[in-house]
C-alpha cells in the first residue's frame, strides 16, 4: 500500500474562473484569488474552520511583499489565525506538491484536515530594477550625508533603469518553455496538424464541459477588485468557435521560420486560483462525509532541462501506477496538463513507446496507449488556461468529480513542469 499510513480523501475542490492575464483579474493578486477559492471551498464543503489543521498553498511567481502566500490567503479568507500556513513551489506542479505534502501529513497522522492549492496572477508579475541600480538603492538607504548620497550615483547609466521582468524560461538553458516545446515537437516528429487538432479538441471539450453543466460546479464566482461591482463567473479563454482552419493560419511563435508551436496550440498566460479540501479517511467517516475520491498513489520525476524539458509525466506516470499496483489499462479517466499540444503528444508517444520504456525507463513494456476517449474529457490547459500554481488542484478537482460522477474506479493525472520536473497521481473513486 502506498503511501504507508492513513489514506487521504478528496472531499471537495473548487477553482476561480481562469481568465486570460490582463483581463478582468488585472488589478488582483494571486493571494486575492486564492482567498476567494479557499473561502468558498470552506463554505461549499460546510467545513468548520476551527477544524482545519493546516493550509498549504503556492504561487510560482513570488510576491515580493507577501512571500508566504499561504499565510496571506488564510488571513484574506478570514480563517482562524492559529492555523499554520506554509507555501510551496514546484513550478507548474506547485499545487500538486501542496496536495501531496498534505497527504503525507495526513498519512503520518500529523493532520486530519488540510486545505491545499495554488494561485497565479500573471497580470501581477514583479518587475525589478537591474541589480546595479538595486545595489545603488541599498547603498542610498545607508548613506547618511549629502556627499555620501551623491557618491552612490557616481557613474550612473540610464540603462540601469531598464526593468527586469521574470521570464518563462529555464535559467540553466536560457530556453523558454515554448522553445522547449518546439524542441520536443522537432525531436519527436510531432506535426503541426496533430498539435492543432489536439488544441481544437481542448476547446470543443471545454465548451461542452460548460454547456453540459460539468465545469460550472467546480468554479466559484469572483467579485472583481478594486470596485467589486462586477463578478467573474466563467472561463474566458475557451473558444467554442475555433476551427482547424483558424488554428492552421496562426504563425509559429517560438521558431518563426521552421516552428509549429503557435498561440493556438500553447496554453495561454492566465490568472486564477484553486483549492481542495483533504481529510484523513477516519475523519471523513467520523464526520459522515462522502469523499469524492481517495488518493491512491503519486510520484515525481526529474530530468535534465537541456533534454526534453516537459517530458516529466512519461517518467512519473509509470512510477505512480506501480505504487498504486495498477496499470494504465485500469485507468477509466486520464487528465493530462496541456502546457503545449506538442508536450502532450510527446508524452503520449513516450507512454506508448517500447524504445522509450527500454532506454529511458529500463522497463520491458511501455506504459501503454492512452485511449483518446478518456483523456481530458472536459478540455485541458490549452483551452481552459494555465495559472501555473493553480493547475494541479484543478486537475485533482476535475478528476475527483469525474470519478464520483462516472463511476469509473481509477483515474490518472499528470503534470509537466519547468526544471524538467514531472508529476503523476492515481485517484480512486470513493466506495
Ligand X SMILES: CC(C)(COP(=O)(O)OP(=O)(O)OC[C@H]1O[C@@H](n2cnc3c(N)ncnc32)[C@H](O)[C@@H]1OP(=O)(O)O)[C@@H](O)C(=O)NCCC(=O)NCCS
Report the interface residues with ligand X, using CB under 6 A: 92, 168, 177-178, 199, 203, 239, 242, 246-247, 250, 253, 263-264, 266-269, 339, 386
Closest CA to 314 of 325, 324, 323, 301: 301
Four-residue CA torsion sign, 224, 230, 232, 236: negative
Sign of CA dihedral 34, 37, 43, 49: negative
Task: Mark whether 386 is an active-site residue.
Answer: yes
Closest contact distance (angstroms) between CB of 131 and ligand X is 25
Shortest Å, Cβ 289 to ligand X: 35
Nearest-approach distance from CB 45 to ligand X, in angstroms? 30
Q: Which is nearer to ligand X, 236 or 406 (CB)?
A: 236
> Does the bond joining 3 to the residue before it have cis omega, within 30 degrees of 0?
yes
Rounded to a whole number of angstroms, the minimum distance from the CB of residue 339 to ligand X is 4
Catalytic residue among 203, 337, 401, 416: 416
Spot the catalytic one: 337, 386, 401, 423: 386
Residue (12 or 272) nearer to ligand X, CB: 272
Beta-carbon count within 10 A of 304 CB: 10
Nearer to ligand X, 22 or 223 (CB): 22
- Cβ closest to ligand X, residue 263 vs residue 302: 263
Among 275, 307, 272, 279, residue whose Cα is nearest residue 385: 272
Nine cell digits for residue 18: 481562469
| Residue 114: closest CA among 38, 184, 169, 177 | 38
CB nearer ligand X, residue 38 or residue 177: 177
User: 130-137 long-range CB contacts below 8 Å, 24 or more apart?
Assistant: 130/159, 130/160, 130/161, 130/162, 130/164, 132/157, 132/160, 133/160, 133/161, 136/160
Beta strand 410-417 with 333-336 is parallel
Least Cβ distance, residue 261 to ligand X (angstroms)? 7
Q: Which is nearer to ligand X, 118 or 268 (CB)?
A: 268
Distance between CA atoms of residues 68 and 73, nearest Å: 9
Closest among 103, 95, 85 to 6, alpha carbons compared: 103
The Cα 54–Cα 30 span in angstroms is 19
Closest distance to ligand X from the beta carbon of 190 (Å): 16
Only one residue has cell 476535475, namely 398
In the three-class reduction of DSSP (H, G, I as helix; E, B as strand; rest coil), residue 262 is classed as strand
Mark whether 92 is an active-site residue: yes
Residues labelled as active-site residues: 92, 386, 416
Amino acid at each position: 500500500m502506498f503511501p504507508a499510513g492513513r489514506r487521504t480523501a478528496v472531499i471537495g475542490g473548487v477553482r476561480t474562473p481562469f481568465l486570460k492575464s490582463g483581463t478582468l483579474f488585472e488589478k488582483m493578486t494571486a493571494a486575492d484569488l486564492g482567498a476567494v477559492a479557499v473561502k468558498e471551498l470552506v463554505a461549499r464543503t460546510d467545513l468548520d474552520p476551527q477544524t482545519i489543521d493546516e493550509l498549504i498553498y503556492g504561487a510560482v511567481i513570488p510576491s515580493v511583499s507577501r512571500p508566504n502566500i499561504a499565510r496571506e490567503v488564510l488571513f484574506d479568507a478570514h480563517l482562524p489565525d492559529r492555523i499554520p500556513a506554509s507555501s510551496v513551489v514546484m513550478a507548474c506542479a506547485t499545487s500538486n506538491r501542496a496536495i501531496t505534502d498534505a497527504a503525507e501529513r495526513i498519512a503520518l497522522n500529523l493532520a486530519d484536515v488540510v486545505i491545499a492549492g495554488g494561485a497565479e496572477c500573471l497580470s501581477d508579475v514583479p518587475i525589478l530594477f537591474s541589480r546595479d541600480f538595486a545595489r545603488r538603492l541599498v547603498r542610498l538607504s545607508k548613506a547618511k550625508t549629502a556627499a555620501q548620497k551623491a557618491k552612490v550615483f557616481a557613474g550612473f547609466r540610464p540603462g540601469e533603469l531598464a526593468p527586469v521582468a521574470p521570464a518563462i524560461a529555464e535559467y540553466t538553458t536560457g530556453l523558454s518553455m515554448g522553445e522547449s516545446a518546439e524542441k520536443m515537437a522537432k525531436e519527436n516528429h510531432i506535426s503541426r496538424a496533430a498539435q492543432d487538432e489536439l488544441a481544437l479538441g481542448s476547446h470543443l471539450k471545454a465548451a461542452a464541459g460548460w454547456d453540459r453543466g460539468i465545469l460550472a460546479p467546480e468554479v466559484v464566482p469572483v467579485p472583481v477588485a478594486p470596485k467589486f461591482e462586477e463578478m467573474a463567473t466563467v472561463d474566458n479563454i475557451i473558444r467554442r468557435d475555433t476551427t482547424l482552419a483558424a488554428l492552421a493560419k496562426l504563425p509559429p511563435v517560438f521558431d518563426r521560420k521552421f516552428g509549429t508551436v503557435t498561440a493556438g496550440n500553447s496554453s495561454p498566460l492566465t490568472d486564477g486560483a484553486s483549492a481542495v479540501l483533504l481529510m484523513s479517511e477516519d475523519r471523513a467517516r467520523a464526520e459522515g462525509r462522502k469523499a469524492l475520491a481517495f488518493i491512491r498513489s503519486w510520484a515525481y520525476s526529474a530530468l535534465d532541462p537541456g533534454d526534453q524539458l516537459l517530458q516529466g509525466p512519461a517518467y512519473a506516470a509509470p512510477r505512480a501506477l506501480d505504487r498504486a499496483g495498477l496499470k494504465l489499462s485500469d485507468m477509466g479517466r486520464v487528465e493530462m496538463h496541456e502546457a503545449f499540444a506538442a508536450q502532450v503528444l510527446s508524452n503520449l508517444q513516450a507512454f506508448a513507446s517500447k524504445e522509450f520504456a527500454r532506454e529511458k525507463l529500463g522497463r520491458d513494456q511501455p506504459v501503454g496507449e492512452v485511449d483518446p476517449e478518456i483523456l481530458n474529457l472536459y478540455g485541458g490547459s490549452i483551452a481552459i488556461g494555465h495559472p501555473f500554481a493553480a493547475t494541479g488542484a484543478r486537475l485533482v478537482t476535475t478528476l475527483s468529480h469525474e470519478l464520483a460522477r462516472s463511476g469509473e474506479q481509477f483515474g490518472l493525472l499528470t503534470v509537466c513542469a519547468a526544471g524538467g520536473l514531472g508529476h503523476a497521481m492515481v485517484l480512486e473513486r470513493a466506495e
